[in-house]
Amino acid sequence: MTEAVKIKLSKKDLESDQDVRWCPGCGDYAILATVQRTLAQIGIKRENTVFISGIGCSSRFPYYMNTYGFHTIHGRAPAIASGLKITRPELDVWVITGDGDGLSIGGNHMIHALRRNMDLKILLFNNQIYGLTKGQYSPTSAIGTRAPSTPTGSIDHPLNPISLALGAGATFVARAADTDAKLMGAILQEAYQHKGAVFIELLQNCPVFNDGVWEAVKDDPAGRQIALAEGKPLVFAGGTKGITLGPGMTPQVVDVGDGPGKTPVSEIMVHTERGSMLYANLLAQLVQPDFPIPMGVLYRHDKPTYGELATQQVDDAIAKQGQGDLNKLMYSGMVWEVGADGTRH
Amino acid sequence: MAGKVRATSLGSEGKRQSMDTKHLDRVVIRFAGDSGDGMQLTGTEFAKAAAEAGNDISTFPDFPAEIRAPAGSLFGVSGFQLHFSASEIHTPGDAPDVLVAMNPAALKTNLKDLIDSGTLIVNTGAFVEANLKKAGYASNPIDDGSLSKYKVHAVDINHLTMAALDGSELSNKEKGRAKNFFALGLVFWMYGREPESEIRRIYQQFAKKPEFGEANVKVFKAGYHYGETAEVFQTVYKVPPAVFKPGMYRNITGNEAIALGLVVGAQLAGKKLFYSGYPITPASSILHSLAKYKNFGTMTFQAEDEIAAMGAALGAAYGGSIAVTASSGPGVALKGEAIGLGVMTELPVVILNIQRGGPSTGLPTKTEQSDLSQSLFGRNGEAPLPVLAAKSPGDTFYCAIEAVKIATRYMVPVILLSDGYIANGSEPWPLPNLAALPRFEVVHRTDPSGYFVYQRDPRTLARSWVIPGTPGLEHRIGGIEKDALTGNISYAPDNHEKQTHVRAEKIARVAQDIGELDLSGGESGDVLLVGWGGTFGALRQAQQQLAAQGKQVSHAHLRWLSPLEPGLAKIIHNFKRVVVAELNMGQLRQVIRATFLIDAIGLNKVQGQPFKVREVIDSIEKQLDTKHTEPAAVAAQPLASA
């Protein structure tokens, strides 16, 4: 056996010949560049890679990737991707969606793709606004968001994409900011290796309709982000602050250190990607403005994918019943012969 | 019909009795009872026995949407009509000759259909005050003389069932459930059916619960022996075997046949079948069948909703599978946007619509043909696609194959229409010679040189089906209008108009692969009866009866609704009148009027029930009457209730 030759690709090899049409300053540019660079580093087979999207600004993504791509309809990308992945398990199928596409009109498909542990890599660009339709508030917009459809402020509570993904049953859940190429690249590398439903929330800036929505988080990574690392304590602000669990299992921010009013680092919660669902949900509840936001891989779990089980059932049926014989199938049930005289024999 | 002959019948105790045997050409029997009474099973089993005896058969199960409606209620009555015959038949029969009524509600709702002097078997045990009241009877019809024009056989099936199971360890409730087998045994005896194979079938069906199998067989035998010994039944009726074309046959329902057709269609295309669906009446049983065919490489997917079922089918088609989804009208409405995406991206998907009464939830378990307009026009934008309809249970097999062929050959979503009547009805079906079915092997392009996404085959206008995994042919497709050659996004005015025309022309060209028009009668005459789908049997029989009387009536059955059968244009102007018969308010008639600019007349019925042959004949006779000067119907004219 010869060793598999790693395909040498550059970022350029993954760029299609189409002009990118996002607004100047859109966070999507940075995400596109990181995805292209990372997949080139991985050395993917372009022909075995498919990007499927719904509708919205982010959903134009497949046109710019020099792979197979399918720009579908609003919210339905996970369903279309599921049909492809079930029937073509050898393909790497990526789903590109946004907070409106994936959590509002397509919320049902999102839940069920994750629940089934469909082997899809879902990138959700969360900018807390509808961009392509000109700025209406989205299911992740903060309460009170003033938008053309909510001139006096939105009155519905935002949903938490990470909580939703965990609750639905995603087996790889991560978060990164659009401009953090290093972290996003590392997460994409891990996600590529994961078998099962990947859900990555990308904090993305819309400079036209919701400029700066993640500014506080992105501009102060030390103070407003927790860089998750396996086996390491949940600390931030240069290790001076950390997270502990208070009464009623309430997470709280404490000053880390020895001495009065401080909590020794040994008492700070320690991150593990393969922790309990309870722990992962706790991480998901660390949100602005009371907490710094956890960035990196929040949760990981291995279990059979829908595609594996579906293929297995077909293989088992063939092993048990033999390769389907059409004649036998046609002749099943009550069968009789009519003879040359036209009557039953 | 035929003369009486003396015959002997051998009882299982070896007792010999002299009996009259009367030969009949055909019988229509209806079993009616509570939706929990097992009438569908009784009917199905009796149909099997008729098929086994070599009769031609046609069945019509007619049941409420409620799974177990309150006992004794009028709306909870479930019926199963069987037409069995010594000659060829096309329909389950207009009116029953025999009615088996298991309770007052069943009698009340079905008696109006029974022919005058018809045979009526009533389960007197259920004719108690509470049930009579629920059915709205002020007095017991069995005693009050109101049934005098029928041959009434009053049998206390409840009591006889319990008596047959005396000593059984089953609970009284469980014993009572066997009563449908008493009715079955009784009609087995009445029509001289061989009980042995039924007994075998009961044991087989209840193999996992042998105590129930044993009880049902006991009750079945009790019913059979009751017929034999009770003096009220003096005649055994014999319907001799029908004459069929030689060959192998099986009994099949529309949904069974459509599932087989899809499996065979995929094999003829040399591809794997992917089927996605969401539970809906009356389409669900197709998913149930296909889920059992995994050893054919068939993959089935119960999606989270109708939209996802359509979406998954598109994804599978994009990946190179024979992709199929099925639903009924409400579900197809939900799939509409995704079907449009299939039209735009030119992917081959087959969409089955097993129609039921609408609008909205409508009549889930009743039949109607009211989704034709939805199929033709029910998408945003100019989104034409091929539409065909099956005419009978067995025909769904061939329609499914044809749908797969056209979808893959023309790279387009195809809608195949069936309906509740076809889906649940059954008929003896000559098994096809699989080796003789023409293959239509699918070829995926793999050559990268000179490839453009929307480059088209000159004959079919289909784009190449390039699937992911093919090196050098990476490309992007999507729902935004595409350049007519490269497939890149294009908002150019002329390009959109060009693409719109090409998508329409592609559908028009499907006509080159459509066979001859199914025409019965001459190519000109007084009346051309035009129909489509499951009304075929009633319309064809009506035309044949009228033609036998020398009337200048022809019947054109349209298998393809989009594009319209090319053969129709050649003859439609040769008739004085054109009658379009449909179980809707005139959806095909609108198309025919618009296409041919003729004053087509509608014969329309929206009662959730199929046409009766009589209704069709009456309507055509009216048109044949030269003195009849009533203007052609513009709005639909519902039939007066029969």
Nearest CB to B304; choose among A55, A112, A327: A112
Report the pLDDT value the prediction gives residue A32, as an integer from 0 to 100. Answer: 98
Residue B296 in contact with partner chain A when CB distance is under 8 A: yes
pLDDT exceeds cutoff 80 at B18: no
b/e B573-595 (16+ beta carbons within 10 angstroms → b): eebebbbbbbbbbbbbbbbbbee
Min Cα distance B609 → chain A (Å) is 28
First to last CA, chain A: 61
Domain membership flag for residue A66: yes
Number of H helices, E strands in chain A: 11, 12
Domain boundaries B250-436, corresponding CATH code? 3.40.50.970
Chain A neighbors of B264, CB-CB under 8 A: 326
Using N-to-C axis directions, what is the helix angle for A107-115 and A161-168, rounded to 10°?
A: 50
φ, ψ (nearest 5 deg) of residue B603: -120, 105
Domain count, chain A: 1
CA A148, distance to chain mean position in Å, is 29
- Is A63 close to B476, i.e. CB distance below 8 A? yes
Domain boundaries B4-238, corresponding CATH code? 3.40.920.10
Q: What distance in Å separates the CA atoms of residue B475 and residue B453, rounded to the nearest whole number?
A: 7
pLDDT exceeds cutoff 70 at B626: no
Q: What distance in Å separates the CA atoms of residue B444 and residue A46, rounded to the nearest whole number?
A: 18
pLDDT exceeds cutoff 70 at B637: no
A128 and A211 Cβ atoms separated by less than 8 Å: no
Q: Strands B247-253, B426-430: parallel, antiparallel or unpaired by DSSP?
A: antiparallel
Edge to edge, what strands does the sheet with B299-302 contain? B299-302, B273-277, B322-327, B349-355, B414-419, B387-389, B560-562
Q: Which whole-number Å values give the CA distances from B311 to A78, B251, B288, B353, in the listed order? A: 9, 34, 20, 16
Q: What distance in Å separates the CA atoms of residue B505 and residue A199, rounded to the nearest whole number?
A: 43
> What is the length of chain B?
642
Nearest CB to B312; choose among A82, A321, A322: A82
Interface test with A, best of B248, B296, B482 (most A CBs within 10 A): B296
B contact residues 215-274, partner A, Cβ 8 Å cutoff? 241-252, 256, 260, 263-264, 267, 272, 274
Estimate the share of chain A in helix, then strand, then coil, as percent rounded to the nearest 5. Answer: 35, 20, 45
Domain membership flag for residue A51: yes
> What is the length of chain A?
345
- Helix (H) or strand (E) run with residue B222 in it: helix B210-229
Chain B neighbors of A318, CB-CB under 8 A: 294-295, 297
Report the pLDDT value the prediction gives residue B66, as an integer from 0 to 100. Answer: 85
| Mean pLDDT within B220-233 | 87
DSSP letters, A167-221, are HHT-SEEEEEETT-HHHHHHHHHHHHH--S-EEEEEE---TTTSTTTTHHHHH-H
**DSSP, res B634:** S
- Rounded to 5°, the CA angle B542-B547-B553 comes to 80
Domain membership flag for residue A74: yes
Interface test with B, best of A64, A329, A331, A337 (most B CBs within 10 A): A329
Residue B350 in contact with partner chain A when CB distance is under 8 A: no
B407 and B343 Cβ atoms separated by less than 8 Å: no
Mean pLDDT estimate for chain B: 93
Residue B494 in contact with partner chain A when CB distance is under 8 A: no
Domains B4-238 and B250-436 share a fold: no
Interface test with A, best of B85, B292, B307 (most A CBs within 10 A): B307
- Is A79 close to B308, i.e. CB distance below 8 A? yes
Q: What distance in Å separates the CA atoms of residue B87 and residue B79, rounded to the nearest whole number?
A: 24
Q: What distance in Å separates the CA atoms of residue A107 and residue A77, rounded to the nearest whole number?
A: 11
Domain boundaries in chain B?
4-238, 250-436, 518-624
Residue with tokens 């992962």: A280
Q: What distance in Å separates the CA atoms of residue B14 and residue B12, rounded to the nearest whole number?
A: 5
Task: Please name which of B613, B606, B277, B615 lies closest in space to residue B419, comparing C-alpha atoms.
Answer: B606
| ipTM rounded to 2 decimals | 0.96
- Is B320 close to A90, i.e. CB distance below 8 A? no
Report the pLDDT value the prediction gives residue B68, as an integer from 0 to 100. Answer: 81
pLDDT exceeds cutoff 60 at B120: yes
Domain membership flag for residue A273: no
- Is B248 close to A337, i.e. CB distance below 8 A? yes
Residue B336 in contact with partner chain A when CB distance is under 8 A: no
**DSSP, res A14:** G
* Token pair in block for residue B176: 């009572």
B155: three-class secondary structure by DSSP: strand
φ, ψ (nearest 5 deg) of residue B344: -70, -45
Residue type, B342: G
Q: Strands B56-62, B387-389: parallel, antiparallel or unpaired by DSSP?
A: unpaired
Q: Strands B560-562, B387-389: parallel, antiparallel or unpaired by DSSP?
A: antiparallel
Nearest CA in chain B to A20: B489
| Mean pLDDT within B144-153 | 94
Chain A neighbors of B474, CB-CB under 8 A: 46-47, 66-69
Residue type, A257: G
- Is B249 close to A336, i.e. CB distance below 8 A? yes
Nearest CA in chain A to B477: A70
Chain B neighbors of A46, CB-CB under 8 A: 471, 474
Interface test with A, best of B295, B321, B351, B439 (most A CBs within 10 A): B295
Chain B neighbors of A44, CB-CB under 8 A: none
Min Cα distance B340 → chain A (Å) is 10
Chain A neighbors of B342, CB-CB under 8 A: none
pLDDT exceeds cutoff 70 at B334: yes
Min Cα distance A110 → chain B (Å) is 10
Number of H helices, E strands in chain B: 20, 24
Chain B neighbors of A337, CB-CB under 8 A: 247-249
Question: What number of other Cβ atoms are within 10 A of residue A286's Cβ?
Answer: 18
B contact residues 420-449, partner A, Cβ 8 Å cutoff? 431-432, 434
Min Cα distance A338 → chain B (Å) is 5
* Token pair in block for residue A333: 């049930």
Domain membership flag for residue A316: no
Query: For residue range A186-232, what is the model confidence (pLDDT) as tens digits?
Result: 999 999 999 999 999 999 999 999 999 999 999 999 999 999 999 99
Q: Which residues contact A69 (CB under 8 A, 6 or more apart)?
A: A50, A51, A52, A53, A62, A63, B474, B475, B476, B477, B478
Question: What number of other Cβ atoms are within 10 A of residue B355's Cβ?
Answer: 31
Chain A neighbors of B313, CB-CB under 8 A: 83
CATH of the domain at A162: 3.40.50.970
Identify the bridge partners of residue B247 per DSSP, sorted by sequence position.
A338
- Helix (H) or strand (E) run with residue A115 in it: helix A107-115
Chain A neighbors of B477, CB-CB under 8 A: 69-71
Report the pLDDT value the prediction gives residue B360, as an integer from 0 to 100. Answer: 96
- Is B315 close to A339, i.e. CB distance below 8 A? no
pLDDT exceeds cutoff 90 at B495: yes
* Token pair in block for residue B371: 């989704």
Chain A neighbors of B483, CB-CB under 8 A: none
Min Cα distance B338 → chain A (Å) is 7
Min Cα distance B190 → chain A (Å) is 21
Q: What is the domain extent for residue A85?
A: 11-219
Report the pLDDT value the prediction gives residue B303, as an integer from 0 to 100. Answer: 98
B287 and B311 Cβ atoms separated by less than 8 Å: no
Q: How far is it between the farthest Cα atoms of chain A?
A: 106
Report the pLDDT value the prediction gives residue B21, as an integer from 0 to 100. Answer: 86
Domain membership flag for residue A235: no
pTM of the entire predicted model: 0.93
Q: Architecture of B518-624 per CATH? A: 3-Layer(aba) Sandwich (3.40)
Query: For residue range A234-289, what is the model confidence (pLDDT) as tens digits?
Result: 999 999 999 999 999 999 999 999 999 999 999 999 999 999 999 999 999 999 99
pLDDT exceeds cutoff 50 at B97: yes
Q: Which whole-number Å values give the CA distances from B277 to B280, B285, B288, B376, in the listed order? A: 9, 10, 10, 21
Chain B neighbors of A84, CB-CB under 8 A: 315-316, 318-319, 468
Question: What number of other Cβ atoms are within 10 A of residue A272's Cβ?
Answer: 15
Report the pLDDT value the prediction gives residue B5, as an integer from 0 to 100. Answer: 36
Report the pLDDT value the prediction gives residue A345, as an integer from 0 to 100. Answer: 74
Chain B neighbors of A18, CB-CB under 8 A: 476, 488-489
φ, ψ (nearest 5 deg) of residue A166: -65, -45
Report the pLDDT value the prediction gives residue A4, as an integer from 0 to 100. Answer: 53
φ, ψ (nearest 5 deg) of residue B364: -60, -35
CA A158, distance to chain mean position in Å, is 18
Task: Please name which of A111, A135, A143, A142 lies closest in space to residue A124, comparing C-alpha atoms.
Answer: A111
Query: For residue range B23-48, what is the model confidence (pLDDT) as tens digits?
Result: 999 999 999 999 889 999 999 999 99
| Mean pLDDT within B581-600 | 98
Task: Please name which of B254, B240, B255, B252 lies closest in space to residue B50, comparing C-alpha atoms.
Answer: B240
Residue B290 in contact with partner chain A when CB distance is under 8 A: no
Q: What distance in Å separates the CA atoms of residue A215 and residue A217, rounded to the nearest whole number?
A: 5
Q: Which residues of chain A have pLDDT under 70?
A: 1-6
Q: What distance in Å separates the CA atoms of residue A263 and residue A241, rounded to the nearest whole number?
A: 9
- Is A91 close to B469, i.e. CB distance below 8 A? yes
Secondary structure in 3-state letters for B19-48: EEEEECCEEEEEEEEECCCCHHHHHHHHHH
Residue B316 in contact with partner chain A when CB distance is under 8 A: yes
Using N-to-C axis directions, what is the helix angle for B210-229 and B195-205, rounded to 10°?
A: 160
Q: What distance in Å separates the CA atoms of residue B322 and residue B407, rounded to the nearest whole number?
A: 9
Domain membership flag for residue A188: yes
- Is B341 close to A73, i.e. CB distance below 8 A? yes
- Is B294 close to A317, i.e. CB distance below 8 A? yes
Report the pLDDT value the prediction gives residue B630, as an integer from 0 to 100. Answer: 52
Percent of chain B with pLDDT over 90: 90
pLDDT exceeds cutoff 50 at B56: yes
